[in-house]
């Protein structure tokens, strides 16, 4: 009874939670009863060596893979069994180890398509709030202006505005990675899952990314940072879940977790 009530009623501010997730590929158990709790306003790390099950668990979080058992909830609302598009609309955005935005389009155009739906929702929200009463044509124009503003603001925020007109397939890998992050942010997510976002970034860009992740958390996002190297989560995460062989073997603030004997054995330092 209590469980049914939970499923029906969103719990604002709870963030992204997965529990008891198991994924098998034939005879391989990639994720074995693992879970994580990623509250809004915090950067939550998912740390583990190659093959630990990190990417598979991320796939479950964003609806790309359905687990054999387990639960995934965003602010209390059940996400399991929903399509990746529906999970994204409900507020979970994701970036991949290898960036995959459409390579033939400019960064600005890719981004504009990503923000269009969010802009239309925002205009509708303003109308409902009674601040603007628009006819159809003005509503469409307002959404278009908001789309342009948001796309340009995101490109500026990520420091890649100079590449706005370049095709995504032709920009340096660092810029493509940031363009992918901009696309994820364009959906105005409540939870952001980043699979090794600093892969391929230089030291300065990695530091800038850490600062950005802290800012996004401070703005109320639940940020999930997936990494292989302990050093990469130390300065940026509030809590770290350590995955090994598909199981969570340690969980806590990075400064504590780093001394755990499982972590010392399993993770790249």
Ligand X SMILES: Nc1ncnc2c1ncn2[C@@H]1O[C@H](COP(=O)(O)OP(=O)(O)OP(=O)(O)O)[C@@H](O)[C@H]1O
Q: Which residues of this protein are in contact with ligand X, per CB under 6 A? A: 25, 28, 30, 48, 50-56, 228
Q: What's the min distance (Å) between Cβ of 65 and ligand X?
A: 9
* Residue 56 vs 95, nearer CB to ligand X: 56
* Contact between residue 69 and residue 21 where contact means Cβ atoms under 8 Å apart: yes
* Residue 56 vs 239, nearer CB to ligand X: 56
Q: How far, in Å, CA of 110 to CA of 102, rounded? A: 7
Closest CA to 71 of 110, 130, 16, 29: 16
Q: What's the min distance (Å) between Cβ of 62 and ligand X?
A: 13
Tokens representing residue 4 in the block: 């049914």
* Residue 53 vs 91, nearer CB to ligand X: 53
* Residue 166 vs 232, nearer CB to ligand X: 232
Q: What's the min distance (Å) between Cβ of 102 and ligand X?
A: 23
CA of residue 105 relative to chain centroid, distance? 23
* Residue 50 vs 135, nearer CB to ligand X: 50
* Residue 52 vs 225, nearer CB to ligand X: 52
* Residue 3 vs 50, nearer CB to ligand X: 50
Q: What's the min distance (Å) between Cβ of 144 and ligand X?
A: 39
């Amino acid at each position: 009874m209590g469980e049914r009530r939970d499923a029906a009623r969103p719990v604002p501010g709870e963030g992204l939670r997965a529990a008891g997730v198991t994924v098998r590929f034939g005879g391989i158990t990639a994720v074995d009863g693992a879970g994580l709790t990623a509250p809004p306003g915090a950067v939550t790390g998912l740390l583990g060596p190659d093959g630990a099950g990190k990417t598979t668990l991320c796939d479950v979080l964003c609806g790309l893979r359905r687990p054999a058992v387990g639960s995934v909830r965003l602010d209390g609302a059940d996400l399991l069994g929903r399509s990746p598009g529906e999970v994204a609309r409900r507020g979970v955005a994701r970036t991949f180890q290898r960036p995959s935005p459409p390579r033939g389009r400019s960064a600005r155009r890719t981004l504009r398509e990503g923000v269009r739906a969010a802009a239309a929702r925002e205009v509708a929200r303003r109308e409902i709030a009674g601040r603007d009463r628009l006819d159809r044509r003005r509503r469409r124009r307002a959404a278009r202006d908001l789309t342009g503003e948001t796309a340009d603001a995101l490109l500026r925020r990520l420091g890649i505005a100079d590449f706005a007109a370049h095709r995504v397939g032709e920009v340096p890998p660092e810029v493509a990675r940031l363009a992918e992050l901009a696309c994820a942010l364009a959906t105005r997510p409540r939870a952001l899952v980043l699979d090794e976002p600093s892969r391929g970034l230089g030291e300065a860009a990695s530091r800038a990314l850490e600062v950005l992740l802290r800012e996004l958390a401070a703005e109320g996002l639940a940020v999930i940072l997936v990494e292989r190297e302990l050093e990469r989560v130390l300065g940026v995460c509030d809590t770290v879940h350590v995955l090994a062989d598909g199981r969570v073997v340690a969980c806590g603030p990075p400064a504590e977790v780093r001394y755990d004997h499982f972590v010392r054995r399993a993770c790249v330092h």
